[in-house]
Chains A and B, each alone.
Chain A
Amino acid sequence: MDTMSLLMQGFAVALTPESIMFAVIGAILGTLIGALPGLGPANGVAILIPLAFSLGLSPTSSLILLTSVYAGAMYGGRISSILLNIPGDEPAMMTCLDGYPMAVKGKAAEALAISAIASFIGSFIATIGLVILAPILAKFALKFGPSEYFALFALAFATLGGITGKNQFKTLMAAAIGLMIATVGIDISTGVQRFTYNTLELFEGIDFIIAIVGLFAISELLFFLERHAGDGLKQVAINKLKLSPKDIVKVLPASFRGAVLGFVAGVLPGAGASLGSFISYTLEKRTSDKGEFGKGDPRGVAAPEAGNNGAASGALVPMLTLGVPGSGTTAVLLAMLISLNISPGPMLFQQNADLVWGVIAAMFVGNLVLLLLNIPMVGIFVKLLSIPPKYLMPVVTLIASVGIYSVSHSALDLYFMVGFGVLGYIFRKVDIPLVPIILGMLLGPEMEKSLRHALVLSDGDWTVLFNSGLSIGLWTVAILGLVLPIIIGPIVRAKMKRSKDTVKDS
């Protein structure tokens, strides 16, 4: 009941004109970014963080804006999946399987509408899950001492590759690069300077936000340049929407199942949205009657969309309560929280109750806005999809540069941003994933700190790392998380590929 009253207070924050405005702006920008092939939610949030900074928004408004962008990008990902057969982002890949065939059959409008409804259900149920689970987990988080936190960070790194990750070795390498960058600066446990070369600007280490904007946004610019800032892409024409209530009822069970599965996958660190949508799709295919999966079955559109949107909200649970992000995008959001001097974790629910519940309430509002935007107004986004990137990318770069400069008023930060952009470009060329770098940068110092603290408390006894049931449990999951993908990963990926190939063949 306590939760209810807090949530109501949250709605008081979320329903102010200012908050609604930012939710709407975020939803529109997010959908647009999600719809553009290649620009996923992590990029979207990374590009818009500087915007929040340069506008001087309050923490609550920034977070409402960026969570709406996040949710919007998850919605938007489906548009290019369905119309172009190119997933807007990785989690939207499964939506191609049945979405594109539906579009080819002249049912593009139906596919878009069904997926919008499924996305809504996915987000809605997962947000309810967040409301219920987060406060419980926040209380439980008090049980986490330094050694438990160390195990938890180890778990986050171990499961980083996830089941859908392509190359475990490259993931590991990326995480190591992140950890290396994180060592720059004054070590707070000893006060010793590391790799600062007496440069004042390096004393506090390299700002995550600069790295994130450089790696994601600036490297994206370089990619567009390379493609000669090509024109819009060819897409399937949209028919007039003919959707009966019966059609909607038909996909509801699939949406609900997808939502719950997605949420669970999202809460688990490292698993994330891709896994959420994959499990939802496979389960739906297996449990449902034969249907026409892979040939344009509406349920095949609904399940993965509910799954990936559910996972998106689920991933916020560990981020807000423990400070450990469950996915790349939540890692980016976490970096922003830290930059705003808000430390996530159990204290967040105590000290910044207004902010947390305001943002959660804003997620409900944003979700409703997204549903409204995505059914009647989907045509606008489809049109935006054909805007040549040559107009879009300069705007993105401008926003990024102004935003980064406004945080520190230091030109050196801009050089760093460009440097990270070039690095990001190279990494992406050689298929080194970017998210583990960010996670390494974010979690590395925390992990080091936890280890030191644990050892100080135990007077140097290493067994302290394994002497509570909780930490042993976490280590077990961590080991499973590291080993299982090596065994199961290839099987799952082969399946994903096979189901995608069958679509192409048909």
Chain B
Amino acid sequence: MLKTLSLKSVLITGAAALTIAGQAHAFEPARSAECIAPANPGGGWDFTCRSVGKVLVDQKYFSGNVQTVNMSGAGGGVAFAHTVSKRASDDNLIVAASTATTTRLAQGQFPGMNADQVKWVGTLGADYGIIAVGKESKYTSLSQVIDALKKDPGAVKFAGGSASGGWDHLKVLMTAQKANVEKLPNIRYLAFSGGSEALVQVVGGHVDAFTGDISEVKGFMDSGDLRVLAVLSEERLPAPFDSIPTAMEQGIDSVAPNWRGFYVPGKADTASYDWWVDTIDELYTTQEWKDVMTKNGLMPFHKSGAKFTEFVKNQTLDIKILSQDIGLIR
């Protein structure tokens, strides 16, 4: 009797102890967190940090605040290096990232660093790539542009807001590659310091075509100065962009989402990583975040945890191979 009782109590105590131990392992975020935006205020990463930070606080994930810290330099490289070397086990830090981050990682533009040095949390939406021409252009569909490129890769000149070899340039090359255009390195790309500068040149009739993201073109689309030939998404985008055909509809299997998401330091605790993944998953479904997306032209695109890590790995590899193929990197 005494024995069974004691055994029972031992079991109960043991179970209780286990529960407590289990709770002790679950991650409890600090009062406040920090979000590094690897650029000056006003850009995409800054927006990602500030808007996500606001929703996190509004939704009571943090009782304090989520502080956005701008850390510009090397297109995100300074922040990446900082995270890897100085904050490697910080559980309360997230860093904004996008396709620009994977592009630079793939092309070795963060010397001595690679995608495995951090943990990829998830995405909260994407800005899809588009290819557009001015209203007076002779091209009315992406297929026509591709046909012209097949005859002469230098026939259509593209303007975009990223550096040579950057995401806007890659979108053109990826699309051309999928459409079996030969001599990809001969495609002419003019690098501008921002999408808007590139747009003006296309609308002004100085450059043939524009490569950029859907969020950049609304103004000139509405005024009728710009004709968007194709959006690089799997399906048509919601209104007011639903009249734009996808590249896939035109027989070119090219999809180019510029995702917006986060990574956390590589040695962050597994429990804290899981907490961030779950939190981003939950946040993505809130009405508040949906409103942020609508207001800022972000399209649905959500991957997190292991799936996102896999996605980043594949994207980095794809970009690396493409960049090698066209001679951007050796």
Contacts and interface: CB of A to CB of B under 8 A. Distances in A.
B73 A410 contact: yes
Interface stretch (B15-23, B203-211, B294-302, B303-311): B203-211
Interface in A153-168: none
Given A203-B75, A204-B75, A408-B73, A345 B197 contact: yes
Interface in B58-97: 69-75, 77-78, 81
Interface string A20-54: 00000000000000000000000000000000010
B317 interface: no
A413 to B, nearest CB: 9
A457 B204 contact: no
Given A343-B193, A410-B78, A145 B70 contact: no
A200 B73 contact: yes
Interface string A185-203: 0101111000000101101
Interface stretch (B35-43, B135-143, B235-243, B246-254): B35-43
B188 A204 contact: no
A239 interface: no
Interface residues of A, number: 43
Interface in A336-381: 339-343, 345-347, 350-351
Contacts of A452: 190
Contact of A350 (B71, B188, B219): B219
B63 to A, nearest CB: 22
Nearest to B157: A457
A37 to B, nearest CB: 34
Interface in A133-164: 141-146
Contact of A409 (B70, B109, B192): B70
B199 A347 contact: yes
B115 interface: no
A486 interface: no
A485 interface: no
Given A145-B201, A350-B219, A457-B157, A200 B196 contact: no
A180 B99 CA distance: 31
Contacts of A142: 200, 203-204
A451 B210 CA distance: 19
Interface string A447-485: 001001100110100000000000000000000000000
A341 B328 contact: no
Contacts of A188: 162-164, 191-193
Nearest to B223: A350
A282 B36 CA distance: 56
Contacts of B40: 339-341, 407
Given A351-B219, A409-B69, A449-B193, 18 more contacts: A141-B200, A144-B204, A145-B205, A146-B190, A146-B201, A188-B163, A188-B192, A200-B110, A204-B72, A340-B41, A341-B41, A341-B194, A343-B197, A351-B196, A408-B70, A409-B70, A453-B207, A459-B154
| 7 closest Cβ pairs, A-B complex | A341-B42, A145-B206, A203-B74, A188-B163, A347-B196, A142-B204, A191-B165
13 contacts: A56-B41, A142-B203, A144-B204, A145-B206, A188-B164, A188-B193, A203-B74, A203-B109, A347-B199, A408-B73, A453-B201, A456-B188, A457-B190
